[in-house]
Structure 1
């Protein structure tokens, strides 16, 4: 999760027949408040085909024709799960979810661990029994945006194959690039360009179960304070909420946030956390690899989210989101610049892979990779074909429309 600085110049639902799949668009909202539900899971029942709602609560799900008589499962943390027949998803529809009422009865109160820190340690120790321990080939969609204040400066999108290693071994996962498109407005970036080093790898490393060393290990876990928050619910199952933050005597920037742990299995189901950026100098050292001498750069925000999904009794990485914000001050200039980097990756399908290692191919990405500019894909409305993607929210739709207009100009 490293940032590199270098010097350089609709709320409706439609089913559409497209070859061997139909395309479904829609919005998921709270049944009472009608607020849009962000990061909601939608899975075709009996398969690993899935997607997730965007920041506007909207989704896009491509259903193979051999599953159009099936069901789609919609689930969101703190809400009751809903199953809907795919064939019924017609016309202008909003899917509503009902908040789940979470009560801790006497049995649950007795069963809940008394020590939040020990619960977290036990969760990390149980990864071999709770998470997928087969070599898995995952199809995922990745999106990365860079904004200068509110204006889009760069948009990257890609379909990748994640060669996911078993959770019990220490080999790192590999990522294979399938297809991608990117457009960058270097004029809008002035003389400074921000790029997220590693691209999809940065999101993959938010998988705390596979890569706990990026947040805390058994060696440095004593630098954190843990406490229980109000329990919640997912799919009618009790979920413990553990709050964590760095101890007051620790000077180095560490993380704070919430861990959501399934009460029955002690599996980590979700995590939402941020880096403490109060110390500008030390937090800058964690992100800035290279910068001009006449510029002062420091992060103002570093937020992370990772979601897991269960299938056949085993949990696996499903979605992650990273939001980084930086303030850039040029010496001698009156006004500063605010840059925001947002990236997300959603697993849309997966299968058990017999091969133990990913073969080294030309399309294999490296953690140091920065995606190259390839704007041509924006001119093709069917660029993604049958691959599931995260539905772009309004601001990204506007950015794509502007890119398409620019490409049409002679």
Structure 2
């Protein structure tokens, strides 16, 4: 009875969804393009390259194999695609040239020179970083924004995928000056989980769309940089780089004497013209096991301790109308689970990424009802169930799955089906 009720509730949720990415009518009024982005000199595939339809907010990104899928409404088929990646020259190509689904886009590294005058404008790298956060109201949009995003979460035990979750979510991002919290609403969603291998009875991880959204450090600086914590870091200028054919400062940071409660190291990429944060790549210092023990866990039994082995974070922003908006973020967490009286520990990796695929200034004052809001503490694998057919996503843009993920989905589904057959045989 409980399973029937859950299935009915899940089916009802899918039937009642009214989220539309491109304001399309009920018919399939879009065209799908596929291809790959590579380094034109080395032929290396390029991950997290951004593809955007010119003069719109429609976009997607490449996966770890450089592959992309881009769904475009028919009324934009005469448009151009802008392809960009940090450190590379931006490439613009008409959609009409992407008719071959094996189209390969080549990007070339940008050679950047930055005059000493630009750097001399600041006392040191720390003063530049402080200015970025002090003056963020000049660069970050001051209005409410309604976004559609694609979220993917994978969990591995050792090197094998054991849980895969995908979702289209609606995000209501409030202005930085607002005291209202950002809200996320779950739209289409599906998952496949091998619970026998995942052992979710033991540990609940800090996952879900909020974990990636909180990487928006311009909206949530308290998770890494505050007025007090900035003074706990060393900041130094590195060689400049380029994104969207614009020069960016590159600032390295690392903690002073590990005096902070939680220490990070990484790079900040800051637009030279506007002094807006364009991107940030950083990682958690996990060398002090006493400080980081159980840091990444929501719930666990008392006889278990969780130690992070690696924690890597990334966030990107896009510029529109001289304002910068949250665009993409990902995190990768590797940790070991120690259980008392067990000889061997278990090592898991959780990877989450969220890409904004369309957005609009919330001039219509759209709201997300309280009953539809995801809780920040949600365990995403508990919130949804069931994988569906390949056409499940319809007109929604998504991050093309890696081949390893596709094969893992099949293996997990087969394992679950075999387990069900064994249970039927045992009960029969």
* TM-score scaled by length of structure 2: 0.86
The residue that corresponds to 1:146 in the other structure is 155
Offset of 1:139 from its aligned partner?
A: 0.2
User: 2:405 and 2:172 mapped to 1: Cα distance?
Assistant: 28
Q: Deviations along 1:337-395, whole A, 9 cap, x unmatched?
A: 1100010000000011135573424321110112236443x232211111101111122
Offset of 1:152 from its aligned partner?
A: 1.4
1:178–1:363 CA contact under 8 A, matched in 2? no
The residue that corresponds to 1:14 in the other structure is none
In the alignment, is residue 104 of structure 1 matched against residue 114 of structure 2?
A: yes
The residue that corresponds to 1:155 in the other structure is 164
2:232–2:256 CA contact under 8 A, matched in 1? yes
Larger CA deviation: 203-212 vs 101-110: 101-110
1:256–1:274 CA contact under 8 A, matched in 2? yes
In the alignment, is residue 257 of structure 1 matched against residue 251 of structure 2?
A: no
Offset of 1:286 from its aligned partner?
A: 2.3
Larger CA deviation: 87-96 vs 292-301: 292-301
Q: Deviations along 1:37-82, whole A, 9 cap, x unmatched?
A: 1111100001000001111111111011111111000000011001
In the alignment, is residue 19 of structure 1 matched against residue 28 of structure 2?
A: yes
Root-mean-square deviation (CA, aligned residues, Å) is 2.0
Q: Deviations along 1:9-46, whole A, 9 cap, x unmatched?
A: xxxxxxxxx92111111111111011111111100001
Larger CA deviation: 295-304 vs 336-345: 295-304
Offset of 1:324 from its aligned partner?
A: 0.5
Match of 1:29 among 38, 62, 75: 38
User: 2:124 and 2:180 mapped to 1: Cα distance?
Assistant: 31
Match of 2:213 among 183, 204, 207: 204
Larger CA deviation: 384-393 vs 196-205: 196-205
Match of 2:103 among 88, 93, 99: 93
Q: Deviations along 1:69-110, whole A, 9 cap, x unmatched?
A: 110000000110011000111223210001110112354354
Match of 2:361 among 349, 352, 369: 352
Offset of 1:168 from its aligned partner?
A: 3.0
Match of 2:63 among 44, 54, 69: 54
When residues 193 and 346 of structure 1 are mapped into structure 2, their CA distance, relative to the original with a 3 A threshold, is: farther
Q: Deviations along 1:387-406, whole A, 9 cap, x unmatched?
A: 10111112211122335556
In the alignment, is residue 79 of structure 1 matched against residue 88 of structure 2?
A: yes
Offset of 1:225 from its aligned partner?
A: 1.3
Offset of 1:215 from its aligned partner?
A: 0.4
Q: Deviations along 1:234-266, whole A, 9 cap, x unmatched?
A: 122211111111111516331111110011110
In the alignment, is residue 179 of structure 1 matched against residue 191 of structure 2?
A: no
1:198–1:366 CA contact under 8 A, matched in 2? no
In the alignment, is residue 268 of structure 1 matched against residue 281 of structure 2?
A: no
When residues 173 and 373 of structure 1 are mapped into structure 2, their CA distance, relative to the original with a 3 A threshold, is: closer
The residue that corresponds to 1:387 in the other structure is 396
1:379–1:407 CA contact under 8 A, matched in 2? no
1:135–1:165 CA contact under 8 A, matched in 2? yes
Larger CA deviation: 350-359 vs 33-42: 350-359
Match of 1:318 among 317, 327, 336: 327
SS, match of residue 366 in structure 1: coil
Q: Which residues of structure 2 form unaligned runs of 5+?
A: 1-26, 422-428
1:325–1:341 CA contact under 8 A, matched in 2? yes
User: 1:276 and 1:128 mapped to 2: Cα distance?
Assistant: 30
Q: Deviations along 1:120-178, whole A, 9 cap, x unmatched?
A: 11001121111111111000001111110111111111101110111333432111111
2:203–2:297 CA contact under 8 A, matched in 1? no
In the alignment, is residue 286 of structure 1 matched against residue 298 of structure 2?
A: no
Aligned length: 391
SS, match of residue 187 in structure 1: helix
SS, match of residue 195 in structure 2: coil
1:42–1:50 CA contact under 8 A, matched in 2? yes
1:183–1:373 CA contact under 8 A, matched in 2? no
